[in-house]
Structure 1
Amino acid sequence: MKMTSIKMKRKLDELFTNEEWRVSFNRDEDTYRIEWKDTKQGVTINIPNVIAKHERRGDIALEELQFHISESLNMMREEHQLEGQEKSIFPVIRATSFPKKTKAGTRLVYTKHTAETNVYYALDLGTTYQLIDEKMLEEQGWSIDRLKEISLFNIRSLPVSPRKDTVAGNDFYFIAPQDGYDASRILNEAFLEEMKANAVGEVVVAVPHQDVLIVADMKNETGYDIMAQMTMKFFAEGRVPITSLPFIYEDKHLEPIFILAKNKPKE
Protein backbone atom coordinates (compact mmCIF):
# COMPACT_ATOMS: atom_id res chain seq x y z
CA MET A 1 0.00 0.00 0.00
CA LYS A 2 1.39 3.38 -1.05
CA MET A 3 2.39 5.64 1.82
CA THR A 4 0.39 8.85 2.11
CA SER A 5 1.85 12.28 2.83
CA ILE A 6 0.21 12.28 6.28
CA LYS A 7 1.87 8.97 7.21
CA MET A 8 5.23 10.23 5.99
CA LYS A 9 4.71 13.45 7.93
CA ARG A 10 4.31 11.36 11.11
CA LYS A 11 7.53 9.47 10.33
CA LEU A 12 9.37 12.77 9.81
CA ASP A 13 7.98 14.07 13.12
CA GLU A 14 9.66 11.11 14.84
CA LEU A 15 12.97 11.73 13.03
CA PHE A 16 13.28 15.43 13.70
CA THR A 17 12.79 15.88 17.44
CA ASN A 18 14.85 18.70 18.91
CA GLU A 19 13.65 21.32 21.40
CA GLU A 20 15.42 24.05 19.43
CA TRP A 21 13.80 23.10 16.10
CA ARG A 22 10.34 23.87 14.79
CA VAL A 23 8.71 21.52 12.27
CA SER A 24 5.77 22.34 10.02
CA PHE A 25 3.77 20.60 7.32
CA ASN A 26 2.41 22.49 4.30
CA ARG A 27 -0.49 20.39 3.05
CA ASP A 28 -1.04 22.50 -0.11
CA GLU A 29 2.57 22.29 -1.30
CA ASP A 30 3.16 18.81 0.17
CA THR A 31 6.34 19.97 1.92
CA TYR A 32 7.80 19.52 5.40
CA ARG A 33 10.06 22.12 6.98
CA ILE A 34 12.55 21.88 9.85
CA GLU A 35 14.00 25.16 11.11
CA TRP A 36 15.79 26.68 14.09
CA LYS A 37 13.21 28.42 16.30
CA ASP A 38 15.35 31.49 16.93
CA THR A 39 16.78 32.26 13.47
CA LYS A 40 14.10 30.60 11.28
CA GLN A 41 16.93 29.17 9.17
CA GLY A 42 16.05 25.71 8.01
CA VAL A 43 15.43 23.10 5.34
CA THR A 44 12.29 22.31 3.34
CA ILE A 45 11.68 18.72 2.26
CA ASN A 46 9.55 17.66 -0.70
CA ILE A 47 7.39 14.86 0.74
CA PRO A 48 6.56 13.04 -2.56
CA ASN A 49 10.32 12.76 -3.22
CA VAL A 50 10.88 11.26 0.23
CA ILE A 51 8.04 8.77 -0.30
CA ALA A 52 9.56 7.72 -3.64
CA LYS A 53 12.97 7.18 -2.03
CA HIS A 54 11.41 5.26 0.85
CA GLU A 55 9.56 2.98 -1.56
CA ARG A 56 12.84 2.19 -3.34
CA ARG A 57 15.20 1.87 -0.38
CA GLY A 58 13.10 1.55 2.76
CA ASP A 59 14.07 3.05 6.14
CA ILE A 60 17.73 3.44 5.06
CA ALA A 61 16.57 6.35 2.87
CA LEU A 62 15.00 8.01 5.94
CA GLU A 63 18.16 7.46 8.02
CA GLU A 64 20.24 9.14 5.30
CA LEU A 65 17.72 11.99 5.08
CA GLN A 66 17.90 12.52 8.85
CA PHE A 67 21.71 12.62 8.72
CA HIS A 68 21.94 15.11 5.81
CA ILE A 69 19.23 17.42 7.15
CA SER A 70 20.79 17.42 10.65
CA GLU A 71 24.21 18.17 9.14
CA SER A 72 22.73 21.03 7.12
CA LEU A 73 20.98 22.52 10.15
CA ASN A 74 24.11 22.27 12.29
CA MET A 75 26.19 24.00 9.60
CA MET A 76 23.71 26.89 9.64
CA ARG A 77 24.60 27.27 13.31
CA GLU A 78 28.33 27.51 12.78
CA GLU A 79 30.08 30.87 12.63
CA HIS A 80 32.24 30.93 9.54
CA GLN A 81 35.18 33.26 9.01
CA LEU A 82 36.29 34.63 5.65
CA GLU A 83 39.68 35.75 6.92
CA GLY A 84 42.13 32.90 6.53
CA GLN A 85 39.66 31.02 4.31
CA GLU A 86 40.48 32.90 1.10
CA LYS A 87 41.25 29.72 -0.87
CA SER A 88 37.77 28.36 -0.05
CA ILE A 89 35.80 31.25 -1.59
CA PHE A 90 34.24 30.61 -5.00
CA PRO A 91 31.66 32.24 -7.26
CA VAL A 92 28.44 30.39 -8.07
CA ILE A 93 26.21 31.15 -11.04
CA ARG A 94 22.47 31.37 -10.41
CA ALA A 95 19.39 32.45 -12.35
CA THR A 96 18.26 36.05 -11.82
CA SER A 97 15.13 34.61 -10.14
CA PHE A 98 17.26 33.03 -7.38
CA PRO A 99 16.46 34.45 -3.89
CA LYS A 100 18.32 37.62 -2.93
CA LYS A 101 17.92 37.02 0.81
CA THR A 102 18.43 34.17 3.27
CA LYS A 103 15.39 32.62 5.01
CA ALA A 104 16.32 34.80 8.01
CA GLY A 105 15.99 37.92 5.84
CA THR A 106 19.70 38.78 5.47
CA ARG A 107 20.67 40.00 2.00
CA LEU A 108 22.96 37.68 0.05
CA VAL A 109 25.98 39.17 -1.70
CA TYR A 110 25.72 38.95 -5.48
CA THR A 111 26.78 40.80 -8.62
CA LYS A 112 25.04 41.01 -11.98
CA HIS A 113 26.48 38.81 -14.69
CA THR A 114 24.17 38.70 -17.74
CA ALA A 115 20.49 39.42 -18.39
CA GLU A 116 19.85 35.80 -17.36
CA THR A 117 22.37 35.22 -14.57
CA ASN A 118 23.82 36.61 -11.36
CA VAL A 119 27.00 35.65 -9.50
CA TYR A 120 26.74 34.71 -5.81
CA TYR A 121 29.71 33.97 -3.58
CA ALA A 122 30.22 30.82 -1.53
CA LEU A 123 32.44 29.70 1.32
CA ASP A 124 33.36 26.08 0.58
CA LEU A 125 32.92 23.86 3.64
CA GLY A 126 34.03 20.58 2.11
CA THR A 127 30.85 18.56 1.59
CA THR A 128 28.72 21.67 1.08
CA TYR A 129 29.05 25.44 0.89
CA GLN A 130 27.49 28.50 2.47
CA LEU A 131 26.42 31.48 0.39
CA ILE A 132 28.03 34.66 1.73
CA ASP A 133 25.63 37.33 2.97
CA GLU A 134 26.08 41.04 3.65
CA LYS A 135 26.20 40.50 7.42
CA MET A 136 29.19 38.17 7.09
CA LEU A 137 30.92 40.63 4.76
CA GLU A 138 30.39 43.54 7.17
CA GLU A 139 31.56 41.54 10.20
CA GLN A 140 34.78 40.64 8.37
CA GLY A 141 35.26 44.18 7.07
CA TRP A 142 35.49 42.96 3.47
CA SER A 143 34.44 44.81 0.34
CA ILE A 144 32.48 43.18 -2.48
CA ASP A 145 35.40 43.96 -4.82
CA ARG A 146 37.79 41.98 -2.63
CA LEU A 147 35.35 39.06 -2.46
CA LYS A 148 34.89 39.13 -6.23
CA GLU A 149 38.62 39.32 -6.93
CA ILE A 150 39.48 36.38 -4.64
CA SER A 151 36.64 34.21 -5.96
CA LEU A 152 37.58 34.81 -9.61
CA PHE A 153 41.21 33.99 -8.87
CA ASN A 154 40.08 30.72 -7.28
CA ILE A 155 37.78 29.73 -10.15
CA ARG A 156 40.67 30.25 -12.59
CA SER A 157 42.79 27.90 -10.48
CA LEU A 158 40.34 25.00 -10.85
CA PRO A 159 41.12 22.46 -13.59
CA VAL A 160 39.17 22.61 -16.85
CA SER A 161 39.07 19.28 -18.66
CA PRO A 162 36.46 19.45 -21.42
CA ARG A 163 34.94 16.34 -22.98
CA LYS A 164 34.55 16.92 -26.71
CA ASP A 165 31.70 15.70 -28.93
CA THR A 166 31.39 16.55 -32.62
CA VAL A 167 27.82 16.58 -33.95
CA ALA A 168 26.88 17.57 -37.52
CA GLY A 169 30.30 19.20 -37.96
CA ASN A 170 30.05 21.29 -34.78
CA ASP A 171 32.31 20.82 -31.77
CA PHE A 172 30.70 20.71 -28.31
CA TYR A 173 32.83 20.81 -25.15
CA PHE A 174 31.33 19.67 -21.84
CA ILE A 175 32.93 20.76 -18.56
CA ALA A 176 31.41 18.78 -15.67
CA PRO A 177 33.99 17.81 -13.02
CA GLN A 178 31.16 17.58 -10.43
CA ASP A 179 32.87 19.77 -7.84
CA GLY A 180 29.95 22.17 -7.38
CA TYR A 181 31.55 24.90 -9.51
CA ASP A 182 31.04 23.42 -12.98
CA ALA A 183 28.88 26.26 -14.33
CA SER A 184 31.04 28.80 -12.46
CA ARG A 185 33.83 28.11 -14.92
CA ILE A 186 31.96 30.40 -17.33
CA LEU A 187 33.68 33.14 -15.27
CA ASN A 188 37.12 31.83 -16.25
CA GLU A 189 37.75 34.41 -18.96
CA ALA A 190 41.18 33.00 -19.79
CA PHE A 191 39.55 29.67 -20.67
CA LEU A 192 36.86 31.32 -22.82
CA GLU A 193 39.47 33.41 -24.62
CA GLU A 194 41.47 30.25 -25.32
CA MET A 195 38.34 28.59 -26.74
CA LYS A 196 37.67 31.69 -28.84
CA ALA A 197 41.22 31.70 -30.19
CA ASN A 198 40.94 28.06 -31.26
CA ALA A 199 37.40 28.22 -32.64
CA VAL A 200 36.68 27.99 -36.35
CA GLY A 201 33.17 29.41 -36.08
CA GLU A 202 31.24 31.39 -33.49
CA VAL A 203 31.69 30.50 -29.81
CA VAL A 204 28.43 29.74 -27.99
CA VAL A 205 28.33 29.07 -24.25
CA ALA A 206 25.59 27.60 -22.03
CA VAL A 207 25.01 27.03 -18.30
CA PRO A 208 21.67 25.17 -18.22
CA HIS A 209 22.27 24.03 -14.64
CA GLN A 210 24.96 24.34 -11.98
CA ASP A 211 26.65 21.02 -12.78
CA VAL A 212 27.73 21.69 -16.36
CA LEU A 213 29.28 24.29 -18.65
CA ILE A 214 28.89 23.78 -22.40
CA VAL A 215 31.12 25.60 -24.89
CA ALA A 216 30.49 25.09 -28.60
CA ASP A 217 32.37 25.95 -31.79
CA MET A 218 29.49 26.66 -34.19
CA LYS A 219 30.44 25.93 -37.78
CA ASN A 220 26.97 25.70 -39.34
CA GLU A 221 23.31 26.54 -38.71
CA THR A 222 22.46 23.01 -37.54
CA GLY A 223 24.75 23.54 -34.56
CA TYR A 224 22.46 26.23 -33.17
CA ASP A 225 19.46 23.91 -33.31
CA ILE A 226 21.40 21.17 -31.55
CA MET A 227 22.57 23.62 -28.88
CA ALA A 228 19.01 24.90 -28.32
CA GLN A 229 17.59 21.42 -27.80
CA MET A 230 20.51 20.27 -25.67
CA THR A 231 20.38 23.32 -23.41
CA MET A 232 16.62 22.99 -22.92
CA LYS A 233 16.96 19.28 -22.06
CA PHE A 234 19.78 19.90 -19.56
CA PHE A 235 17.86 22.83 -18.05
CA ALA A 236 14.77 20.66 -17.50
CA GLU A 237 16.78 17.85 -15.91
CA GLY A 238 19.20 19.87 -13.77
CA ARG A 239 19.25 19.74 -9.97
CA VAL A 240 19.78 23.53 -9.81
CA PRO A 241 18.54 24.96 -13.15
CA ILE A 242 20.08 28.25 -14.29
CA THR A 243 19.02 29.23 -17.81
CA SER A 244 17.83 27.48 -20.97
CA LEU A 245 19.23 30.29 -23.14
CA PRO A 246 22.73 29.90 -24.62
CA PHE A 247 25.07 32.90 -25.00
CA ILE A 248 27.24 34.11 -27.85
CA TYR A 249 30.74 34.91 -26.55
CA GLU A 250 32.18 37.89 -28.41
CA ASP A 251 34.63 40.60 -27.30
CA LYS A 252 34.71 39.18 -23.75
CA HIS A 253 30.96 39.64 -23.54
CA LEU A 254 28.12 37.12 -23.17
CA GLU A 255 24.91 37.89 -25.04
CA PRO A 256 21.85 35.62 -24.60
CA ILE A 257 20.53 34.26 -27.89
CA PHE A 258 17.06 32.99 -28.72
CA ILE A 259 17.30 30.02 -31.06
CA LEU A 260 14.24 28.65 -32.82
CA ALA A 261 15.04 25.00 -33.40
CA LYS A 262 14.08 24.14 -36.96
CA ASN A 263 16.37 21.27 -37.85
CA LYS A 264 15.87 18.54 -35.31
CA PRO A 265 19.07 16.48 -35.21
CA LYS A 266 18.75 12.81 -36.08
CA GLU A 267 18.78 10.45 -33.12
Structure 2
Amino acid sequence: MDIKKLKGILQDRLSNPNRSITYDREKDSLRFENKETKKGITVSLPPIVSKWKENNKSIIDEVVYYVEEALNVMGTEANVENKEKKVFPVIRSTSFTTESNEGVSLVTDDHTAETRIYYAVDLGTTYRLIDEKMLKTEGWSHEQMKETALFNVRGLPTNMKKDEVAGNIFYFLNNNDGYDASRILNDSFLKQMSEDVQGEMTVAVPHQDVLVIGDIRNETGYDVLAQLTMSFFTTGNVPITALSFVYEEGELEPIFILGKNRKK
Protein backbone atom coordinates (compact mmCIF):
# COMPACT_ATOMS: atom_id res chain seq x y z
CA MET A 1 0.00 0.00 0.00
CA ASP A 2 1.29 3.46 -0.93
CA ILE A 3 -0.24 6.95 -0.97
CA LYS A 4 -1.14 6.79 -4.67
CA LYS A 5 -3.04 3.51 -4.26
CA LEU A 6 -4.77 4.69 -1.07
CA LYS A 7 -5.79 7.92 -2.78
CA GLY A 8 -7.47 5.96 -5.58
CA ILE A 9 -9.28 3.62 -3.17
CA LEU A 10 -10.70 6.48 -1.06
CA GLN A 11 -11.74 8.47 -4.14
CA ASP A 12 -13.61 5.45 -5.51
CA ARG A 13 -15.32 4.48 -2.26
CA LEU A 14 -16.26 8.01 -1.23
CA SER A 15 -17.33 9.25 -4.64
CA ASN A 16 -20.72 11.00 -4.60
CA PRO A 17 -22.44 13.31 -7.16
CA ASN A 18 -23.08 15.87 -4.40
CA ARG A 19 -19.50 15.78 -3.18
CA SER A 20 -16.24 17.27 -4.45
CA ILE A 21 -12.90 15.56 -3.81
CA THR A 22 -9.64 17.48 -4.05
CA TYR A 23 -6.09 16.28 -3.52
CA ASP A 24 -3.38 18.41 -1.91
CA ARG A 25 -0.13 17.07 -3.31
CA GLU A 26 2.04 19.10 -0.92
CA LYS A 27 0.30 17.78 2.20
CA ASP A 28 -0.68 14.37 0.78
CA SER A 29 -4.27 14.89 1.90
CA LEU A 30 -7.74 14.46 0.42
CA ARG A 31 -10.53 16.98 0.99
CA PHE A 32 -14.12 15.70 0.80
CA GLU A 33 -16.63 18.54 0.59
CA ASN A 34 -20.38 18.96 0.14
CA LYS A 35 -20.84 20.94 -3.08
CA GLU A 36 -23.83 22.86 -1.74
CA THR A 37 -22.79 23.71 1.82
CA LYS A 38 -19.01 23.81 1.15
CA LYS A 39 -18.54 21.96 4.43
CA GLY A 40 -16.19 19.03 4.46
CA ILE A 41 -13.43 17.01 6.02
CA THR A 42 -9.71 16.69 5.19
CA VAL A 43 -7.97 13.34 5.52
CA SER A 44 -4.17 13.04 5.81
CA LEU A 45 -3.02 9.97 3.88
CA PRO A 46 0.47 9.12 5.30
CA PRO A 47 -0.81 8.08 8.79
CA ILE A 48 -3.37 5.76 7.16
CA VAL A 49 -0.69 4.11 5.03
CA SER A 50 1.47 3.64 8.15
CA LYS A 51 -1.35 1.96 10.08
CA TRP A 52 -2.11 -0.29 7.11
CA LYS A 53 1.54 -1.37 6.99
CA GLU A 54 1.37 -2.08 10.75
CA ASN A 55 -1.16 -4.79 9.84
CA ASN A 56 -4.26 -2.72 10.62
CA LYS A 57 -5.99 -3.87 7.42
CA SER A 58 -9.37 -2.51 8.56
CA ILE A 59 -8.10 1.07 8.69
CA ILE A 60 -9.45 1.93 5.22
CA ASP A 61 -12.95 0.73 6.14
CA GLU A 62 -12.74 2.78 9.32
CA VAL A 63 -11.68 5.94 7.47
CA VAL A 64 -14.51 5.54 4.94
CA TYR A 65 -16.99 5.10 7.78
CA TYR A 66 -15.81 8.16 9.70
CA VAL A 67 -15.72 10.39 6.61
CA GLU A 68 -19.27 9.37 5.67
CA GLU A 69 -20.49 9.94 9.21
CA ALA A 70 -18.75 13.31 9.48
CA LEU A 71 -20.24 14.53 6.21
CA ASN A 72 -23.69 13.32 7.28
CA VAL A 73 -23.37 15.24 10.54
CA MET A 74 -22.39 18.40 8.68
CA GLY A 75 -25.64 18.16 6.80
CA THR A 76 -27.63 17.81 10.01
CA GLU A 77 -28.70 20.66 12.25
CA ALA A 78 -27.74 19.34 15.67
CA ASN A 79 -29.44 21.60 18.19
CA VAL A 80 -28.95 21.27 21.93
CA GLU A 81 -32.65 21.88 22.57
CA ASN A 82 -34.50 18.79 23.85
CA LYS A 83 -31.28 16.81 23.69
CA GLU A 84 -30.22 17.20 27.31
CA LYS A 85 -29.85 13.43 27.70
CA LYS A 86 -27.67 13.31 24.58
CA VAL A 87 -25.00 15.79 25.70
CA PHE A 88 -21.71 14.22 26.79
CA PRO A 89 -18.14 15.34 27.52
CA VAL A 90 -15.45 14.27 25.08
CA ILE A 91 -11.75 14.00 25.96
CA ARG A 92 -9.18 15.18 23.43
CA SER A 93 -5.49 16.08 23.50
CA THR A 94 -4.56 19.71 24.09
CA SER A 95 -3.28 19.85 20.51
CA PHE A 96 -6.77 19.19 19.15
CA THR A 97 -8.39 22.12 17.35
CA THR A 98 -10.46 24.58 19.40
CA GLU A 99 -12.53 25.78 16.45
CA SER A 100 -15.20 24.19 14.28
CA ASN A 101 -14.80 23.88 10.51
CA GLU A 102 -16.68 27.18 10.25
CA GLY A 103 -14.18 28.93 12.52
CA VAL A 104 -16.52 29.08 15.54
CA SER A 105 -14.95 28.44 18.96
CA LEU A 106 -15.73 25.01 20.38
CA VAL A 107 -16.93 24.81 23.97
CA THR A 108 -14.06 23.49 26.09
CA ASP A 109 -12.82 23.21 29.67
CA ASP A 110 -9.33 22.60 31.03
CA HIS A 111 -8.61 19.11 32.31
CA THR A 112 -4.90 18.21 32.58
CA ALA A 113 -1.72 19.44 30.94
CA GLU A 114 -2.20 16.67 28.35
CA THR A 115 -5.97 16.63 27.89
CA ARG A 116 -8.87 19.01 27.32
CA ILE A 117 -12.63 18.54 27.71
CA TYR A 118 -14.96 19.16 24.77
CA TYR A 119 -18.72 18.61 24.64
CA ALA A 120 -20.88 16.86 22.08
CA VAL A 121 -24.47 16.12 21.10
CA ASP A 122 -24.88 12.41 20.48
CA LEU A 123 -26.54 11.69 17.12
CA GLY A 124 -26.66 7.90 17.32
CA THR A 125 -23.83 6.51 15.22
CA THR A 126 -21.75 9.67 15.66
CA TYR A 127 -21.79 13.00 17.49
CA ARG A 128 -21.26 16.69 16.86
CA LEU A 129 -18.99 18.84 18.99
CA ILE A 130 -20.78 21.79 20.57
CA ASP A 131 -19.58 25.27 19.64
CA GLU A 132 -20.36 28.69 21.08
CA LYS A 133 -22.88 29.41 18.32
CA MET A 134 -24.97 26.37 19.29
CA LEU A 135 -24.98 27.42 22.94
CA LYS A 136 -26.05 30.95 22.09
CA THR A 137 -28.79 29.76 19.73
CA GLU A 138 -30.32 27.50 22.37
CA GLY A 139 -29.87 29.91 25.27
CA TRP A 140 -27.75 27.53 27.31
CA SER A 141 -24.99 28.70 29.60
CA HIS A 142 -21.60 27.01 29.53
CA GLU A 143 -22.07 25.86 33.13
CA GLN A 144 -25.52 24.40 32.41
CA MET A 145 -24.21 22.39 29.52
CA LYS A 146 -21.16 21.22 31.48
CA GLU A 147 -23.22 20.02 34.46
CA THR A 148 -25.62 18.18 32.15
CA ALA A 149 -22.76 16.45 30.27
CA LEU A 150 -21.00 15.36 33.48
CA PHE A 151 -24.29 14.05 34.87
CA ASN A 152 -24.89 12.03 31.71
CA VAL A 153 -21.41 10.49 31.64
CA ARG A 154 -21.94 9.21 35.18
CA GLY A 155 -24.86 7.19 33.85
CA LEU A 156 -22.79 5.31 31.27
CA PRO A 157 -21.86 1.66 32.02
CA THR A 158 -18.44 1.05 33.54
CA ASN A 159 -17.99 -2.68 32.95
CA MET A 160 -14.31 -3.51 32.68
CA LYS A 161 -12.10 -6.41 31.62
CA LYS A 162 -9.34 -7.42 34.03
CA ASP A 163 -5.87 -8.75 33.30
CA GLU A 164 -2.83 -9.54 35.48
CA VAL A 165 0.72 -9.01 34.25
CA ALA A 166 3.81 -9.65 36.42
CA GLY A 167 1.81 -9.20 39.61
CA ASN A 168 0.10 -6.00 38.46
CA ILE A 169 -3.61 -5.66 37.72
CA PHE A 170 -4.92 -3.79 34.68
CA TYR A 171 -8.54 -2.92 33.96
CA PHE A 172 -9.77 -2.06 30.45
CA LEU A 173 -12.97 -0.17 29.67
CA ASN A 174 -13.93 -0.47 26.00
CA ASN A 175 -17.63 -0.06 25.14
CA ASN A 176 -16.95 1.54 21.74
CA ASP A 177 -19.69 4.11 22.31
CA GLY A 178 -17.43 7.08 21.63
CA TYR A 179 -17.17 8.00 25.32
CA ASP A 180 -14.84 5.38 26.83
CA ALA A 181 -12.13 7.96 27.57
CA SER A 182 -14.84 10.29 28.91
CA ARG A 183 -15.31 7.96 31.89
CA ILE A 184 -12.16 9.56 33.32
CA LEU A 185 -14.53 12.42 34.29
CA ASN A 186 -16.73 10.11 36.38
CA ASP A 187 -15.34 11.00 39.80
CA SER A 188 -17.46 8.49 41.73
CA PHE A 189 -16.30 5.67 39.43
CA LEU A 190 -12.61 6.54 39.88
CA LYS A 191 -13.06 6.85 43.64
CA GLN A 192 -14.73 3.46 43.81
CA MET A 193 -11.91 1.90 41.80
CA SER A 194 -9.30 3.48 44.07
CA GLU A 195 -10.81 1.71 47.07
CA ASP A 196 -10.06 -1.68 45.49
CA VAL A 197 -6.53 -0.83 44.33
CA GLN A 198 -3.75 -2.27 46.52
CA GLY A 199 -0.78 -0.57 44.83
CA GLU A 200 -0.60 2.79 43.08
CA MET A 201 -3.60 3.61 40.92
CA THR A 202 -2.96 4.90 37.42
CA VAL A 203 -5.42 6.05 34.77
CA ALA A 204 -4.74 6.28 31.03
CA VAL A 205 -6.75 7.48 28.03
CA PRO A 206 -4.44 6.70 25.07
CA HIS A 207 -7.30 7.07 22.60
CA GLN A 208 -11.01 7.86 22.50
CA ASP A 209 -12.26 4.29 22.72
CA VAL A 210 -10.40 2.95 25.74
CA LEU A 211 -9.74 3.78 29.38
CA VAL A 212 -7.05 1.84 31.25
CA ILE A 213 -6.81 1.69 35.03
CA GLY A 214 -3.71 0.18 36.55
CA ASP A 215 -3.13 -1.28 40.01
CA ILE A 216 0.66 -0.95 39.91
CA ARG A 217 2.28 -3.10 42.59
CA ASN A 218 5.91 -3.26 41.43
CA GLU A 219 8.39 -1.49 39.14
CA THR A 220 7.71 -3.86 36.25
CA GLY A 221 4.14 -2.61 36.26
CA TYR A 222 5.24 0.84 35.08
CA ASP A 223 7.10 -0.65 32.12
CA VAL A 224 4.05 -2.72 31.18
CA LEU A 225 1.84 0.36 31.55
CA ALA A 226 4.10 2.39 29.25
CA GLN A 227 4.03 -0.33 26.59
CA LEU A 228 0.25 -0.69 26.84
CA THR A 229 -0.52 3.00 26.51
CA MET A 230 1.91 3.51 23.64
CA SER A 231 0.43 0.55 21.77
CA PHE A 232 -3.12 1.88 22.20
CA PHE A 233 -2.03 5.42 21.36
CA THR A 234 -0.47 4.43 18.03
CA THR A 235 -3.39 2.22 16.92
CA GLY A 236 -6.40 4.29 18.02
CA ASN A 237 -8.55 6.20 15.53
CA VAL A 238 -8.60 9.28 17.77
CA PRO A 239 -5.32 9.33 19.77
CA ILE A 240 -5.30 11.39 22.98
CA THR A 241 -2.11 10.89 25.00
CA ALA A 242 0.48 8.15 25.54
CA LEU A 243 1.11 9.45 29.07
CA SER A 244 -0.58 7.93 32.10
CA PHE A 245 -1.79 9.64 35.26
CA VAL A 246 -1.46 8.76 38.92
CA TYR A 247 -4.83 9.03 40.66
CA GLU A 248 -4.55 10.19 44.25
CA GLU A 249 -7.19 11.86 46.42
CA GLY A 250 -9.31 12.78 43.44
CA GLU A 251 -6.45 14.34 41.49
CA LEU A 252 -4.74 13.22 38.27
CA GLU A 253 -0.99 13.75 38.04
CA PRO A 254 0.84 12.85 34.78
CA ILE A 255 3.76 10.45 35.10
CA PHE A 256 6.69 9.96 32.72
CA ILE A 257 7.97 6.40 32.46
CA LEU A 258 11.43 5.57 31.12
CA GLY A 259 12.68 2.06 31.66
CA LYS A 260 12.25 1.30 35.32
CA ASN A 261 12.17 4.96 36.33
CA ARG A 262 9.08 7.07 36.70
CA LYS A 263 8.68 10.73 37.35
CA LYS A 264 5.64 12.76 38.31
- The bucket for the TM-score relative to the shorter chain is 0.7 to 0.9
- Return the match for 1:262 from 235, 239, 260: 260
Partner of 2:142: 144
User: What's the TM-score, normalizing by structure 1?
Assistant: 0.84
Task: Report if aligned partners of 1:229, 1:261 keep a CA contact under 8 Å in 2.
Answer: no
Task: Report if aligned partners of 1:13, 1:23 keep a CA contact under 8 Å in 2.
Answer: no
- Name the CA shift for 1:11/1:200 in 2 (closer, same or farther; >3 Å): closer
Q: How does 1:72-221 map to 2 (within 5 A)?
A: 72-221=70-219
Task: Report if aligned partners of 2:3, 2:45 keep a CA contact under 8 Å in 1.
Answer: no
Specify every segment of 5 or more residues in structure 2 that has no aligned partner in the other structure, as ranges.
none
Task: Report if aligned partners of 2:11, 2:21 keep a CA contact under 8 Å in 1.
Answer: no
Q: How does 1:28-43 map to 2 (within 5 A)?
A: 28-36=26-34, 40-43=38-41
- Name the CA shift for 1:241/1:13 in 2 (closer, same or farther; >3 Å): closer
- Name the CA shift for 1:30/1:109 in 2 (closer, same or farther; >3 Å): same
The Cα shift of 1:234 comes to 1.1
1:16 maps onto 2:24 in alignment: no
Specify every segment of 5 or more residues in structure 1 that has no aligned partner in the other structure, as ranges.
none
- The one-letter code matched in structure 2 to 1:8 is G
Distance 1:23 1:81 in 2: 28
The Cα shift of 1:44 comes to 2.0
Aligned identity (percent) is 51
Partner of 1:224: 222
Distance 1:207 1:199 in 2: 18
Distance 2:132 2:44 in 1: 29
Distance 2:93 2:106 in 1: 14
Q: Secondary structure at the match of 1:106?
A: coil
The Cα shift of 1:181 comes to 0.6
Task: Report if aligned partners of 1:9, 1:32 keep a CA contact under 8 Å in 2.
Answer: no
Task: Report if aligned partners of 1:89, 1:154 keep a CA contact under 8 Å in 2.
Answer: yes
The Cα shift of 1:4 comes to 3.8
Task: Report if aligned partners of 2:222, 2:260 keep a CA contact under 8 Å in 1.
Answer: no
Distance 2:32 2:107 in 1: 25
Aligned length: 252
- The one-letter code matched in structure 2 to 1:192 is L
Task: Report if aligned partners of 2:7, 2:30 keep a CA contact under 8 Å in 1.
Answer: no
Q: Secondary structure at the match of 1:15?
A: coil
Q: Secondary structure at the match of 1:152?
A: helix
- The one-letter code matched in structure 2 to 1:126 is G
Distance 2:249 2:132 in 1: 32
The Cα shift of 1:6 comes to 10
Q: Secondary structure at the match of 1:258?
A: strand
The Cα shift of 1:45 comes to 3.6
Distance 1:10 1:166 in 2: 41
